[in-house]
């Protein structure tokens, strides 16, 4: 199993890294714009770091359908925040959630260490940006759908096999493009191009992804599949289901955990670590 290395830190097999979300969007499904303002976003990043986040993941575009956000507006939302977080927290790992190479170029120059491509390589230039700047890359499976769209009756013969084939293929292409092998992660991208059954199947069989040797990132925090599994719970009532899914993922060997609540995630993973000892 490979060791993940970002900004001088190493996360080997059995290590857990908390990736905390900061959304500079007015329409986030989770916080509904609470950190859209620059100062609110910067202070949220500091709070999450204090609560145990190893990585801060900054996003400027809502994942789901919504108002159009062009590259210039996305850059306006995230680039200055990346620079401010870097100035305030020189040692923290900064990730930016984007699928656009032009955004990746600007945020890498501003101090980002990782480009979190949740839409599965729709812009091949993003890997080239990561290679050129020596930063990491998340290779995700989004069901080959266009960014910010929801699939209609999507189906897979074997969703886990499809996820593994697609993400490892992207990872190998990224390394071939010059991205450092020890800075590449794979992400099944729960709910992206998938229904609830697909996301549950991935969670049950996550160890198959881990067995590929690539570090695995899971982003399950308060997602729809958690709410639907628990009988249709709204976003604000999915916390317990999120923590349960994090624990199951950690026991199977996931390495990085993208969450909204860094403190609870850290406590959950500390328990898992003791159980595994």
Q: What is the dihedral of CA 131, 68, 148, 165, to 10 degrees?
A: -20
Q: Are 114 and 138 within 8 A, CB to CB?
A: yes
Backbone angles phi, psi at 26, to 5 degrees: -85, -5
Q: Are 4 and 210 within 8 A, CB to CB?
A: no
Backbone angles phi, psi at 214, to 5 degrees: -80, 140
Q: What angle do CA 261, 170, 217 make, to 5 degrees?
A: 20
**Token pair in block for residue 73:** 């507006």
Other residues' Cβ atoms within 10 Å of the Cβ of residue 139: 27
Catalytic residue among 24, 194, 255, 258: 258
Q: What is the dihedral of CA 80, 81, 82, 86, to 10 degrees?
A: 100
Cα(50)–Cα(45) distance, rounded to whole angstroms? 9
CA torsion sign, 127 to 11 to 254 to 225? negative
Can you tell me which residue has the tokens 């993922």?
Answer: 249
Catalytic residue among 7, 223, 238, 266: 223
Backbone angles phi, psi at 97, to 5 degrees: -85, 100
Under 8 Å CB-to-CB from 3, ≥6 apart: which residues?
10, 11, 12, 13, 182
Residue spans of beta strands (DSSP E) within 32-119: 55-59, 93-97, 114-117
Please indicate whether residue 258 is annotated as part of the active site: yes
So which residues are the catalytic ones? 223, 258
């Amino acid at each position: 199993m490979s060791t993940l290395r970002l900004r001088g830190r190493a996360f080997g097999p059995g290590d857990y890294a908390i990736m905390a979300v900061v959304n500079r969007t007015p329409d986030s499904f989770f916080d509904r714009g609470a950190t859209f303002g620059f100062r609110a976003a910067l202070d949220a990043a500091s709070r999450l770091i204090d609560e145990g986040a190893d990585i801060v993941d900054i996003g400027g575009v809502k994942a789901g359908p919504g108002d159009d956000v062009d590259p210039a507006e996305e850059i306006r939302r995230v680039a200055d925040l990346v620079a401010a977080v870097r100035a305030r927290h020189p040692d923290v790992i900064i990730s930016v959630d984007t699928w656009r190479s032009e955004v990746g170029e600007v945020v890498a120059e501003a101090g980002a260490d990782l480009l979190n491509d949740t839409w599965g390589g729709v812009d091949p230039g993003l890997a080239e940006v990561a290679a050129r700047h020596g930063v990491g890359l998340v290779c995700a499976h989004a069901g080959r759908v266009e960014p910010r769209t929801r699939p209609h009756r999507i189906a897979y013969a074997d969703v886990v096999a499809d996820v593994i084939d697609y993400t490892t293929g992207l990872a190998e292409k990224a390394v071939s493009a010059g991205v450092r092998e020890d800075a590449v992660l794979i992400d099944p991208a729960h709910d992206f191009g998938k229904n609830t059954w697909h996301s549950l199947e991935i969670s049950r069989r996550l160890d198959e992804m881990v067995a590929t040797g690539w570090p695995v990132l899971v982003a399950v925090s308060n997602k729809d599949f958690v709410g639907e599994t628990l009988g249709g719970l709204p976003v604000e009532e999915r916390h317990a289901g999120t923590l349960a899914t994090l624990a199951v993922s950690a026991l199977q060997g996931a390495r990085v955990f993208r969450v909204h609540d860094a403190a609870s995630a850290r406590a959950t993973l500390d328990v898992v670590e003791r159980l595994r000892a």
